[in-house]
A and B are shown apart, each in its own frame.
Chain A
Amino acid sequence: MTGRKQNLLWLQSGGCGGCTLSLICAESPDFLVAFETAGINMLWHPTLSLETGQEANEIIDDVLSGKTKLDILCLEGSVMQGPNGTGRFHMMAGRGEPMKDVITKLSAMATHVVGVGSCAAFGGITTTGDNEAEACGLAFNGDLKGGLLGPDFRSKSGLPAISIPGCPVHPDWVTQTLAQVTAGTVRADDLDSFNRPHAISGTLVHHGCARNEYYEYKASAQNLCEIGCMMENLGCKGTQAAGDCNKRPWNGGGSCISGGYPCIACTEPGFEEPGHPFTETPKVAGIPIGLPTDMPKAWFVALASLSKAATPKRLRQNATSDRARVFPERKKKGGH
């Protein structure tokens, strides 16, 4: 990377810090190498930086006064608007002002604004239930445009607030998105209708799922820990959820599904309120309500009944087992 280093300021509000903790699990390369290569100068990060108290406030004040250029503002965690719009559920420590106001002011100074994680992008888990916290995302309330900055917000770059979804984010989603930002290659049409880079949301969790053969034959698990497809009974939303989780491993080789539990679509706005228990698939007349993205219902029903009838014994038996007990057998040659 040649040229000027780009200043990144990272704030945390109504979240768990898990996106930063996921980020520091980055490998090949680790996030220090990835950020250095991207030419990022970390102005301040609440978890990583030395500066505390007055030193940190001076860094923020210098950005607000225009003395320090702010190339990228990252927010992790929801914006806290409550109670009654006051923002007092998160008064930024040492500043005596609502964090939501600090975010608004800094967003106006930033060339790029990035929401890291589903909380910062859409409101996320903090909005669960009746959203007592009045939490929202930077530019969305769930799947509705708006949020803190409003539906028409554009940062100085002309781009909307970029959404890196996930609860938590995959570390590579952060490092690779920020590298594209510093390289100046992000265009408006690289983002989907929720401002997520197509590089992240253009893939479904279903793609590369190790249970695809079970899906094809509708050989379904009945209980957690069984190795069949989890769509029919266990609430799996992999066929509808953005993310390359089954193509790009987590923590060396994992994914939710490889860990034995369903995709809860944590990259999608509103995932926190599915309208049913997370590990149960709602059905009408025995047919799952949430069908795969783009799939016409009649075709799904027809194909499902056909494929169920054709399910090989191996898959039917293994689907409700905690491990493969019937193994693929090679067809013998020579007509025996």
Chain B
Amino acid sequence: MSRLVVGPFNRVEGDLEVRLDVEGDHVQSAQVVSPLYRGFEGMLKDKDPRDALVISPRICGICSVSQSIAAANALGAAQGIKPLPNGQLVTNIVHASENVSDHLTHFYMFFMPDFTRDTYAGAAWYPAISERFSAITGAASQDMLPARAEFMHIVGLLAGKWPHTLSLQPGGATRVVAQHEVQHLRAVLSGFRRFLQRFVFGGSLEAFADIASLDDLANWRETCRGDLPTFLKVSKDLGLAKLGGSGDRFLSFGAYPSAEGHLFARGVSHGTELQVLDTALISEDISNAWMQGEGPALHPFDGRTKPDGDMAQGYTWCKAPRLDGLPAEVGALARQVIARHPLALDYISQTGGNIEARIVARFLEVAILVPQMEAWLETIRPDDAFITHGVTPDKAEGAGLVEAARGALGHWLRIDQGRIANYQIIAPTTWNFSPRDAGGQAGPLEQALVNAPIRNGEVDPVSVQHIVRSFDPCMVCTVH
């Protein structure tokens, strides 16, 4: 058996190291190392609770809006208020903009360049893939970046800028939207839809969102010409639907709330079996993290974050979140399984979770969300108010549970004497890239890497890179 250390593991958000124990031609076991600790939970202590809306989005430059909304929801729960309907619509539109944009950034800039590696030079698809998806120089970036930048004008108008807005507040949004601006936003969305249909899907968004089975997806793959069908052909050739399963225990906090509930439901799924989420069963184990503390894993309302300066034990700054003592995968695939999208469920039934399923689930969301954003715009009532203002109690607590592009994000806030007494954050990649817990259970990525194939002579195995990046990790959120 030999040991490989892969790092700096780039094209993830932040720094990452993956340690692999290799037996013959496959990975026998993996350890995931989150090497950066900044200490946001400590920074927030004793602050005015409203300051969390400024500080916590700066945990992350790629899921900044998700952090904003989680902070606003936690404070809103403590204040006993919710966003006004217009404010919720603006929040949903801004959030969907970030999440759709992140899905594109992930596919084009983080994930696809790995198929341009020399190791694939013999494949029939290699020349075309290299020309289109090479990092920095590929043609696809030249198509995607301007379209993405113009799409983010939606956030510029509604929220001032991206990342790090302060416009999303417990009671709604700080900027009203006039009727002429609604019309402008509709036009921006139309332009973005054109880009998606021409370059990404090679067909209508609705046709892709309606795909209900792997058989239908195979037909679609062969009839459409776009970057996603191109990937699916590569994936078929490489067998990516057979790689990277994490155990198929999924968690979603639910995304895009309205009076009718979440657009993508809240819940837990064991394989395809849906269960109700009980957030009281969430805890964080620190047995293998560089953290001080003993005793049982704590619920985040009671959680503590004390870095261990001597790094006497453990192998990462990341704690190990568990739901009822078990790890859970979060992200677009988890959301779509729990939202009961038939294609996501067919993957779980036929192949289990895998690299390809995670990519497809992201694009299901793109195809669903852009028409949904068009519909949300239609329901804004420009003459009505967009925000209500709450009062922060001297003593209260509140949780803010949202779905970032890469999965479930929670903020747990405790206020005492009008100041933040405790603030704990569990980010999506904290779940996905968690270390082993006291019982030795591996986190989802550590599980997904077991048996990953190693090609002859590889030191940074390409299959490991596909699997790691299929989770769209955000390392700056992971530890925060």
Q: List residues of chain A with CB under 8 Å of any chain B CB.
A: 12-22, 24-27, 30-32, 42, 45-57, 80, 82-84, 86, 88-95, 99, 125-126, 128-130, 132-133, 135, 167-168, 223-225, 249-262, 264, 266, 272, 277-279, 322-323
Contact = CB atoms under 8 A, between A and B. Distances in A.
- Which of B38, B60, B155, B165 has the largest number of chain A CB atoms within 10 A? B38
A250 B164 CA distance: 12
25 contacts: A15-B61, A16-B60, A17-B61, A22-B163, A27-B150, A32-B141, A47-B13, A49-B11, A52-B11, A53-B8, A56-B10, A89-B37, A93-B17, A94-B9, A126-B38, A129-B47, A133-B37, A167-B164, A224-B174, A258-B160, A277-B48, A278-B51, A322-B176, A322-B386, A323-B178
A14 B9 contact: no
Nearest to B385: A322
B162 A251 contact: yes
A88 B35 CA distance: 8
Contact of B113 (A22, A50, A83, A167): A50
Contact of A256 (B8, B9, B166, B385): B166
A14 B38 contact: yes
A92 B163 contact: no
A93 B178 CA distance: 48
Interface string B106-142: 0001100110110000000000000000111000011
Nearest to B98: A21
B49 to A, nearest CB: 9
Contacts of B307: 83, 89, 132
Contact of B9 (A93, A224, A251): A93
Contact of A18 (B60, B156, B166): B60
Contacts of A261: 160, 165-167, 174
- Which of B105, B148, B162 has the largest number of chain A CB atoms within 10 A? B162
Interface in B240-263: none
Interface in B153-188: 153, 155-167, 169, 172-176, 178
Contacts of A53: 6-9, 459-460
Nearest to A171: B149
Contacts of B113: 50
Q: Could you tell me the dominant secondary structure of chain A's interface residues?
A: loop
Contact of B33 (A51, A93, A260, A278): A93
Contact of A95 (B8, B64, B109): B8
Contacts, number: 264
- Which of A27, A30, A93, A260 has the largest number of chain B CB atoms within 10 A? A93
A41 B149 CA distance: 23
Nearest to B384: A322
B38 A47 contact: no
Given A14-B36, A47-B109, A250-B160, A52 B6 contact: yes
A172 B128 CA distance: 32
Given A94-B6, A167-B164, A251-B149, 5 more contacts: A46-B15, A48-B136, A252-B152, A258-B160, A264-B166
A259 B10 contact: no
A296 B307 CA distance: 46
Contacts of B311: 88
Contacts of B10: 45-47, 49, 51-52, 56
B160 A256 contact: yes
B26 to A, nearest CB: 18
A306 to B, nearest CB: 30
A32 B145 contact: yes
- Which of A13, A88, A94, A224 has the largest number of chain B CB atoms within 10 A? A94
Give 6 closest A-B pairs by Cβ, nearest first: A259-B160, A18-B61, A94-B7, A251-B156, A93-B7, A260-B174
Contacts of B174: 224-225, 259-261
Contacts of A94: 5-9, 17
Contacts of A323: 176, 178
A259 B175 contact: yes
B59 interface: yes
Given A89-B37, A251-B156, A256-B160, A224 B169 contact: yes
Given A52-B6, A251-B155, A128 B55 contact: yes
A15 B480 CA distance: 9
B465 A52 contact: yes
Contact of A260 (B54, B55, B64, B167): B167
A90 B35 contact: yes
B164 A168 contact: yes
A26 B148 CA distance: 10
Contacts of B116: 50
A322 B387 contact: yes
Interface string B5-39: 11111110111110000000000000001011111
B166 A31 contact: no
A32 B142 contact: yes
B8 A93 contact: yes
A130 B145 CA distance: 39
B61 A52 contact: no
B386 A25 contact: no
Contacts of B440: none
A49 B7 CA distance: 14
A324 B150 CA distance: 28
A18 B459 CA distance: 30
B55 to A, nearest CB: 6
Contacts of B35: 90-93
Contact of A50 (B9, B134, B141): B134
Contacts of A92: 7-8, 15, 35
A252 B156 contact: yes
Interface in B404-448: none
Given A12-B14, A133-B37, A254-B160, A42 B145 contact: no
A280 B226 CA distance: 50
A12 B36 CA distance: 10
A21 B163 contact: yes
B50 interface: yes
A12 B15 contact: yes
B295 interface: no
